[in-house]
Amino acid sequence: MTIMSTTESKETQTLRVDLHSHTKCSDGGLTPEELVERAVNFQIDVLAITDHDTVSALDIANNYIKDKNYGLKLINGIEISTVWEGFEIHIVGLNIDHANPQLRELISNQQEARESRAIAIGHKLQKCGFEGMYDKAKALSTGGSFTRAHFAKALFQQGSISKMQTAFDKYIGKGKRAYVKPNWCSIQEAIDVIHSAGGTAVMAHPVRYDLSTKWLRRLVTQFKAEGGDGLEIVLPQMSNDQRQLMLNFCLEYELHASMGSDFHYPSKWSDLGRNLRMPDKATPIWNLWPNSLN
């Protein structure tokens, strides 16, 4: 692999890059080692692990790659939950120093917010007629970041719902009966901490927030003003209109472009590195780290 500059963008197109993925350390289905194995099998060149509000997969994955002598380049990452205008916006930190004290402090605050939200969700689900969901969901989180996906899985496993999505649609999604407003940090805090940790701040999946174009523009304007570096504009399953809109935002706001599958577990719809192609006109986020892609 060679250093990639803008003039070599044709060459970067041949790199298989996936900058958004999860492990069992949050709500993914694979251990860090299993995720690395899958990336190697899928011939991924550059992979970022970006678990929700935790970096605990990173040392495990890095050590495993070293032990196995794999050529896979791992980018140390995190996906930080934030609240903006009542919406939960995810900010991905890439190429971070995951030992950074400010980052560790933010993670500890976010974990506390996750724990108190989970207790409150448990109470609300009890009022909906589901007993003991906190304990059942907590057991599924196996000591990692405690997410709503664990509640969805617990409800599914006991046969209360026929698919996990129903948990969000009926109970724990925004505005539903067991939804609890989270105490996440602000976008500004997430960006600042990522920068303190030497990383690059990327807005995760802007097309998935169910925002009108007008609100999306407000969000991108603020993200840029607060020092954000890039938008995740390439993800599986986007319409052509969405692709064009995202590219236009990158060009207009001079933001770098990121791409990732948001892989959680093997499924029919998406997988590591699948259906990801950086548009020619975009400036890839990895141009910011020429020395890391050697």
Q: Which position's Cβ is nearest ligand AMP?
A: 147
Residue 175's region, left for phi above 0, alpha for psi from -120 to 50, else beta, is left
Among ligand AMP, Mn ion, none, the one that 187 touches (CB under a kind-dependent 5 to 8 A) is none
Quick one: 57 or 247, whose CB is closer to ligand AMP?
A: 57
| Residue indicated by tokens 């492990």 | 23
d(CA 107, CA 113): 10
- The verdict on 264 binding ligand AMP (CB under 6 A) reads yes
The token duo for 128 is 């909906």
Among Mn ion, ligand AMP, none, the one that 204 touches (CB under a kind-dependent 5 to 8 A) is Mn ion
122: exposed, middle or buried (Cβ count in 10 Å: 0-12, 13-18, 19+): buried
Among ligand AMP, Mn ion, none, the one that 43 touches (CB under a kind-dependent 5 to 8 A) is none
Contact 169, 191 (CB under 8 A): no
Contact 191, 219 (CB under 8 A): no
Among ligand AMP, Mn ion, none, the one that 148 touches (CB under a kind-dependent 5 to 8 A) is ligand AMP
Binding mask 38-77 for ligand AMP (x = CB under 6 A): --------------x-------------------------
The residues binding Mn ion (CB under 5 A) are 27, 79, 90, 204, 262
Q: How far is the CB of 1 from ligand AMP (least distance, A)?
A: 30
| Residue indicated by tokens 């940790």 | 197
- The verdict on 29 binding ligand AMP (CB under 6 A) reads no
Among ligand AMP, Mn ion, none, the one that 81 touches (CB under a kind-dependent 5 to 8 A) is ligand AMP
Contact 202, 92 (CB under 8 A): yes
